[in-house]
Structure 1
Amino acid sequence: MSLRRPLGPLLSKVTYRRWVYLILGGAISVPYLLFAAILIPSLVPVVASASNAAVFGLVAAFVVTIASSFIPAVRALEGVAVRELLDDPVPGVVFGPASGWPVRLRSSAMYLLHVAGGFGISLVSLLVPVGFGFSVAAPFTGRIELSAGSPIVVPKGWVSAWIPALFLLGIVLLAYVAWAVGGVLRRCSVALLGLSAADRITQLERRTEQLAERNRLARELHDSVGHALSVVTIQAGAARRTLRTDPEFTEQALGAIEESARAALDDLDHVLGLLRDEAAGRAPQAGLAELPALLSATRLAGADVEAEVRGEALIADVPPVVSRETYRILQECLTNALRHAGKVPVTVLVEVGEDRLDLRVSNRLGGVSVPGRDGGGRGLRGMAERVEVLGGTLSAGLADERWEVVVTVPWGKRR
């Protein structure tokens, strides 16, 4: 146990992933060094000395490195390298086009640190193993052949055994250095590539919008599919009872089942299209203009619906969101009437004014519910959520032995 901690970096996979990250930085530095090496000879006749030319070439290469660090593809490459080789220190960050200059500057700084640190570690990683290879035969030959014709002479035997041992120790220590430098760059990546406060707020807002959209889609499915299933259940029961005695009514009931199921499938296709981000599923949703079809389907289910629409000429001016949500509220009211009261008379009043929309639905209490269904209590809560989003008011309860739902939604210029 006492050796595991000091030997941890040497035995850890993290060390060698960091080492690969640094060697990648060294590989990236090669084109810049070649640029400097090619630029130097071309400038030697112009400048006073070769040393000045070398300095000028290195400065030019550094400028090119900085300039290339602002390329979007370079930022994406750096992000992938950090994510895969430094154990993803910045989860949730998308390494796409930079959103502004602060992000560009931080990404550029991370890239420059990667290239500089990688160059240093890569150079040492190349020289130390090569030095070990040249020196391993020194105790036996007394010579270190660094270049042809100019060997380094050393004593033979154990006296010079420390030379290859020193290089071997250097290779071992190099693993610790790579682990440490990689850890420093990992911490730098958190500061330089991590989400800023503004980015985190934007991400939270986007997440909130997604959750709100999912909540809305859940209400859409609850209202449309719930209404269709209520109609299908009631009509299927009626068709079963009149199959032999009243074929004409049975045919009407089956037609209502077909129509309700088709409408539910259309709504389901719309919702799935939104979830999959498919254009095919983004057909316009039902609104107040589809009220006649909704009322007709409810009548086919056996309910006696008496409807009155006032201000019908203004329906086209109602904002789509108000039209859509009001339609869903009415659909839920009719569904609840069928589900909990049965085939009782239902009165519907829709009044469209210049700055508000009023909806009133009432039905006699029938005391009948769809078999196998306990209600669940989600209908009123869903309607209340819709009305709250629209800034309107909703009241639901008993009024003169009738169940009544009253909704008022503001719209128009004074909304």
Structure 2
Amino acid sequence: MSLPPLTAAVLFAPPKWPVELRVLGFVLAFALMTVVMGAPVTARRVSVRLANGLLRAGLPAPVDTTGRHWVDRSRTSVWLVLHMVLGGAVTAVSFVAALGAVAFPSVWLGGEERMAVFGLSLRIGEGWRGAWALLPAVGCLALAVAGTLGGAAVLRALAPVFLGHRLGERLAAAEERMNLLAQQNRLAQELHDSIGHTLTASTIQAAVAVELMGTDPAGARRALNSIEETSRAAMDDLDHVLGMLREERPSTAPRPTLADLDPLVEGVRGTGAELAVEIRGDLARVPATVSREAYRIVQEGLTNAMRHGGRGGIRLRTTVRDGWLEVELTNPVGTGAPVRQRPGGRGVEGIKDRVRLLRGETRAGVVDTAGGDAREALWRLLVRIPLRSGS
């Protein structure tokens, strides 16, 4: 790493210059080249990977904090200077120590009685009297090892200071983690909606197939084929969501929107349920995000209607007007008692969570349509979502 700045420093300190200018040129060129090496964003990422791989520093990956790159770049440049200086010192000490570890035994085994070490003349001695030369050789090896381990320890302690996260990066990392958890929670909610709808529809279709097995084999066969198709679609959704939760490359298949209501409606009707659908307004005016979430809301509402209210009298109405999307779903419940979810169910609460994120309104409950006659009670789900966030 020190070769590029050293080369530049030598070029900017020609021998014909006075000593003062040569020193100044060397230092300035070395510093400037080091700053240039630390300026790219990738330099810090590479430095972090090297520190983790070679020093076991355990540094977190850098986080992009827009507007503060200059701080990180300067810290990276300082780290590179320290790394080069300390690395050069360790290299020099290790080289001299290794040379001494070879020189002492070589002089003794070569029969020489004296050797010069840093201007000093040492008497080795002949035969076994010179065996003491092995001791400084071992000491030189120990010095080389100690210098290497010591340099690594110092760099390991300095790495978090210059390559670790600052306060802004820690906040950005925490926010990124929160966004990831929110995304995973949303994916889990989508998986719940999709699989819950499929299981409910498949259960009803299986019951229909059993009833028709003896009297209408063709109808039973259609019900079983519908189970196969809905189960295959659920498996596709499961693979897609689990792949994203495992941080694999997600599928490029588009998520369903209100434009895909027809297959959903036909799937519900295929279970033998009576479903009336009314669409008012232009669904193409609905933003993609709202349309995707509204599809999941309809899917969950239909699942709850089939699960808790039976298969008759289900009505779905979607309206686009005055900057709002309105989804109304009703089904008879046969009793004035409120619909209860299964233990651990997330039906209505999941819908409310989705609508709340879109700044919308949710109303859910039993309404009386026949002057107190409980047999005519309806479960009504009404969702209103603004087409724009400022509505």
TM-score bracket for the superposition, by shorter chain length: 0.7 to 0.9
Question: Quick check: 1:29 aligned with 2:5?
Answer: no
From the superposition, tell whether residues 86 and 151 of structure 1 become closer, same or farther in structure 2 (CA, over 3 Å): closer
Q: Distance in 1 between matches of 2:89 and 2:344?
A: 67
Is residue 404 of structure 1 aligned with residue 380 of structure 2?
yes
> 2:263 — aligned with what?
293
TM-score by length of 1: 0.76
Counterpart of 2:114 in structure 1 is 143
Deviation at residue 56 of structure 1 after TM alignment: 6.2
**Does residue 127 of structure 2 align to residue 154 of structure 1?**
no
**SS state of the match for residue 312, structure 2?**
coil
Partner SS state of residue 363, structure 1: strand
Matching residue of 2:306:
338
Aligned to 1:317: 285
1:356 counterpart letter in structure 2: W
Answer 1 or 2: higher relative contact order, Cα 8 Å, separation at least 6. 1
Which of 87, 95, 99 is 1:126 aligned to? 95
Counterpart residue type for residue 175 of structure 2: E
Displacement of 1:396 after TM fit? 2.2
Tell me how far apart the structure 1 counterparts of residues 254 and 236 of structure 2 sit (CA, whole Å): 11
| Alpha carbons 2:206, 2:227 under 8 Å: kept | yes
Cα offset for 1:405? 1.8
Cα distance in structure 2, aligned partners of 1:100 and 1:360: 50
Identity, % of aligned positions: 34
Conserved? CA contact 1:361–1:404, under 8 Å: yes
Q: What amino acid maps onto 2:268 in structure 1?
A: T
Displacement of 1:283: 2.7
Answering whether residue 359 of structure 2 is matched by residue 386 of structure 1, we say no
Change (3 A) 1:38 1:405: closer
Call closer, same or farther: CA 1:72–1:384 in 2, change over 3 Å. closer
What are the equivalent positions in structure 2 for 1:43-62 lying under 5 Å apart?
A: 43-44=14-15, 46-47=16-17, 51=19, 55=23, 58-59=26-27, 60-61=29-30
Aligned length, in residue pairs: 372
1:222 equivalent in structure 2: 192
What's 1:6 paired with? none
CA 1:323–1:30 in structure 2 vs 1: closer, same or farther (change >3 Å)? closer
In structure 2, do the counterparts of structure 1 residues 354 and 273 end up closer, same or farther at CA, with 3 Å as the change threshold? farther
Query: Could you give the per-residue CA deviations for residues 171-190 of structure 1, whole angstroms, max 9, x where no partner exists?
Result: 54554454444333222211
Q: Does 1:91 align with 2:60?
A: yes
2:72 pairs with one of 86, 91, 103: 103
What is the Cα-based RMSD across aligned positions, in Å?
3.7
Q: Give the equivalent residue in structure 2 for 1:10.
A: none
Q: 1:39 to 1:316 in 2, by over 3 A?
A: closer
Amino acid at match of 2:261: L
What residue is the counterpart of 2:223 in the other structure?
253
CA distance in 1 between partners of 2:80 and 2:149 (Å) = 18
Corresponding letter in the other structure for 2:331: N
The alignment partner of 1:407 has SS state of strand
Give unmatched runs, 5+ long, in structure 2: 336-340, 369-376
The residue that corresponds to 1:347 in the other structure is 315
- Distance in 2 (alpha carbons) for counterparts of 1:358 and 1:181: 68
Residue 142 of structure 1 contacts residue 156 of structure 1 at CA under 8 Å; is this kept in 2? yes
Please give the secondary structure, in 2, of the residue aligned with 1:308: strand
Deviation of 1:355 (Å): 2.0
My pick for the range that moved more, 220-229 or 111-120, is 220-229
For structure 1, which runs of at least 5 residues remain unmatched after alignment? 1-27, 368-372
For 1:15, the equivalent position in structure 2 comes to none
Q: Is the 8 A contact 1:270 1:282 kept in 2?
A: no
Contact persistence 1:134–1:146 (CA under 8 A): no
1:211 aligns with 2:187: no
Counterpart position of 1:21: none
Q: Could you say what secondary structure the match of 1:302 adopts?
A: coil
* Residues 172-217 of structure 1 deviation map (CA, whole Å, 9 limit, x = unaligned): 4554454444333222211110112222222222222221111111
Q: 1:352 to 1:68 in 2, by over 3 A?
A: closer
Give, in whole Å, the separation in 2 of the partners of 1:200 and 1:246: 65
Task: Compute the displacement of 1:256 (Å).
Answer: 3.1
Measured against aligned partners, the alpha-carbon deviations of 1:239-283 in whole angstroms (never above 9, x if no partner) come to 12212211342244234324433543453455356555546x233
Distance 1:144 1:37 in 2: 34
Whole-angstrom CA distance in 2 between matches of 1:268 and 1:155: 79
Residues 81/357 of structure 1: CA separation in 2 closer, same or farther (3 Å cut) = closer
2:255 aligned counterpart, secondary structure: coil
The more displaced of 345-354 and 258-267 is 258-267
Q: Which residue of 2 aligns with 1:370?
A: none
Could you give the per-residue CA deviations for residues 270-306 of structure 1, whole angstroms, max 9, x where no partner exists? 5356555546x23332222223332222122111122
Compared CA separation, residues 112 and 292, structure 1 to 2 (3 A):
same
CA distance in 1, matches of 2:243, 2:124: 80
Helix, strand or coil at the partner of 2:272: coil
